[in-house]
Amino acid sequence: MTALLLLPLLLPLALPALARRALDRLAPVAALWAVTGCAVVLAGCSLAALGSFVLIGLLKVPLFAAVGELIHPLRTASDLVVLPAAATSVGALAVCGWTLVRSVLRQTRAFRAARTEAGRRPAAGDLCVVDSPRPDAYALPGRPHRIVVTTAMLRSLDGPEREALFAHERAHNDGGHHYFLAAAELAAHCHPALRPVRETIRLAAERAADEAAAAQVGDRRLIARAIARAALAGHAARSERPDFAPAATSGPVPQRVQALLAAPRVPQAGRAIAGLLLACTAVSCAAAGIGMADFHHRVEIAQGDERP
């Protein structure tokens, strides 16, 4: 049981490398879905494993064993292993909860401030222009979705580049990329190994929007030029937007520009990397499920409901 519950805590360590390979070998949209889904599942399984260790440790304490109506000793690994694992799990869950609450509060404040700022300005369709000396542009989720762009950013681009930038931000809103970024943020607070994956998911979202905008505009070089100029203009600007609001200037812009300028290539070995992600997810789910089921069975035996 203990060994099985360790697997969901170890498998996230492999995801950062797999996520980078997935982005290289899969289409951006496919990589976005696959990596985000895998990160969310691995995060959930790791929390389930930590919770199971906490329960195992609690049932080793006579008071909680009495509350759980255990009439026989709970059969587990040695107390020298179980009790430190339970204490460590309590600390890990406390840290995860604390950092997650802080992140949610900070992101909520930033989102409300951005929506309030956008609501003060007249909108032309989904476009909202904010008078600011900071060059910035981003896709703001909500009802309705908005494309927020500052006057400084508009002055930094010519007419075709502005339209290319707007196409990129509309692709974010149309693709619901803020959901992926929010899921990546949540997963990053559930396991330390998933924090680098958050940036890979952000890059995948930007690459997906780049490709969607290029398909709509019909000019990959124009999209690349608009992104590069917007990134240069907004390089020194610090935006107050929430982290789950995607922006054309985020991520490794040179890598994105290079991908746009290169001829579209057919992803290679996509099935292999997708299979690895699926296998990683399946093994984590199976290990967490079987470990928790075994723990439940041992509790029932200790309660005298079942025979060993």
CA distances from 223 to 41, 60, 153, 160, 234 (A): 34, 61, 15, 9, 16
Give the helix ranges, DSSP H, for 140-238.
151-156, 159-175, 177-188, 195-217, 220-233
Q: pLDDT tens digits for 173-190?
A: 999 999 999 999 999 999
Mean pLDDT value of segment 49-64: 84
Structure tokens at 306: 């079942």
Mean pLDDT value of segment 75-80: 72
Residue with tokens 């030029």: 225
What is the pTM assigned to this prediction? 0.89
Residue 100 and residue 189 in contact, taking contact as beta carbons nearer than 8 Å:
yes
Reported as a pLDDT band with limits 50, 70 and 90, residue 267 is: low
Reported as a pLDDT band with limits 50, 70 and 90, residue 100 is: very high
Mean pLDDT value of segment 24-43: 94
CA distances from 66 to 11, 51, 72, 117, 123 (A): 35, 20, 10, 56, 63
Structure tokens at 207: 């690459």
Mean pLDDT value of segment 271-277: 88
As a whole number of angstroms, the distance between CA 65 and CA 57 comes to: 10
As a whole number of angstroms, the distance between CA 32 and CA 44 comes to: 18
Structure tokens at 305: 């409901």
Least confident of 10-14, 153-157, 303-307: 303-307
What pLDDT, on the 0 to 100 scale, is given for residue 237? 55
Helix-helix angle 220-233:159-175, to 10 degrees: 90
Residue 35 and residue 23 in contact, taking contact as beta carbons nearer than 8 Å:
yes
Which residues does 239 contact at the CB level (< 8 Å), separation at least 6?
134, 136, 138, 247
- Please determine, for residue 239, whether its predicted confidence score (pLDDT) is greater than 90: no
As a whole number of angstroms, the distance between CA 234 and CA 223 comes to: 16
- For the chain, what's the residue count? 308
What pLDDT, on the 0 to 100 scale, is given for residue 236? 55
Residue with tokens 């950092």: 99
| Other beta carbons less than 10 A from residue 34's beta carbon | 23
Residue with tokens 């759980």: 68
Task: Identify which of 80, 101, 6, 104 has the alpha carbon closest to the alpha carbon of residue 46.
Answer: 6
DSSP codes, 246-257: --TT-S-HHHHH
Mean pLDDT value of segment 244-253: 83
Residue 123, φ and ψ in degrees, nearest 5: -110, 140
- Please determine, for residue 93, whether its predicted confidence score (pLDDT) is greater than 90: yes
Residue 298 exposure: Cα atoms within 13 Å on the Cβ side: 19
Q: Return left, alpha or beta for 74; rule: phi > 0 is left, psi -120 to 50 is alpha, else beta.
A: beta
As a whole number of angstroms, the distance between CA 169 and CA 109 comes to: 22
Q: pLDDT tens digits for 194-212?
A: 999 999 999 999 999 999 9
**Residue 153, amino acid:** M
What pLDDT, on the 0 to 100 scale, is given for residue 86? 87
Least confident of 31-45, 83-97, 105-119: 105-119
Reported as a pLDDT band with limits 50, 70 and 90, residue 281 is: very high
Structure tokens at 264: 């579209």
